[in-house]
Each structure stands twice: as C-alpha cells, then as structure tokens.
Structure 1
Amino acid sequence: MRAHTLLMLALAAAPLPALAQNQAPTNRAQQRVEGINRSIESQAESRSFQQQNRFETNQIQGQIQRQQSIAPPPPAPIILPHR
C-alpha cells in the first residue's frame, strides 16, 4: 500500500506535457485571440526598436551639441622672424 501511495505522489509531481501550447486553435474565437496576441507582440517589438533608435539618436545629437558648444581654442600666434 505504501509503494502504491509513493507511486501516485511521484506521478502527481511529474511535469505534464504542455499539450495546450502545441494544439492548433479549435475555433474562430481562439484563432482571433491568438492573432491579436501576435499583433500585440509585434507592435511591442516595433515600439521597443523605435524607442532604442530614438534613444541612440538623442545621445548622438547631445554629443554633437556638446562638441559645438565648446569654443575651439584660439589659433596659435604667428611669429615672423625679424629681417
């Protein structure tokens, strides 16, 4: 009896295969939901790319502005030899 109980506990604790993730959608509503989810994921990826691109562009613009705001050093004086 004890072995039977241990076997049942072991089976209950074993991970079950993720069948629901591998199944094809069974109806239109489910297909629609999955389509919407894919669309949301795609939009999120696009938004993430755009935000990264905007961030990098702002960084470059800031660097350019800082470089332009620093006054260049005055030119070195030209010393002509005496004749």
Structure 2
Amino acid sequence: MSEGPDGRLTLTVGRREFEQLNREWADYVAAASAGSSPVDPVLTLRRTGGVLRSLDLLLASIGREDRQAPSESEHRGSEHRG
C-alpha cells in the first residue's frame, strides 16, 4: 500500500480479478432487479455467491502483490547493510 497525494491509502489489485468482480456484480444486479417480473431467489443467491468468490480472489490478489514486493523499509535496510 502507498499513500496518495491527499493522504489516502492506495493499493493495487489484480486486473483480471477486478474485471471478474465487475462481471459478477453486473450479473447479480441483473438477477436482483428483474423489473416487472418476479426475482428468482435461487438465481440471486447464486449470483451473490459469484460476487463473494470474486471479492475473495480480488482481496487475495492484494496479498500476493504485498508478498512479492519488498517494503520500503526492507529495501532501505538492505542498502544500509551493503
């Protein structure tokens, strides 16, 4: 995570995971707002599960990037040792 210009924390997530979450969300919204026809509760629950799985993968993509990139303090510490 890094700090943006306005003091907010910013983070990076996987592009594929983010796109998948957007698709799953669109499917959920389509199933949950059926307009004039009744909402299918089973389909809505399935779409909810898809959103939750995609969100889990998105959150996991944050952790993968954090583990792959050394933190600034680790990087500075290795420079001082060398």
- Normalised to the residue count of structure 1, the TM-score between the two structures is 0.43
- Normalised to the residue count of structure 2, the TM-score between the two structures is 0.43
Relative to its length, the structure with more strand (as a share) is: 2
Q: Whose radius of gyration is greater, 1 or 2?
A: 1
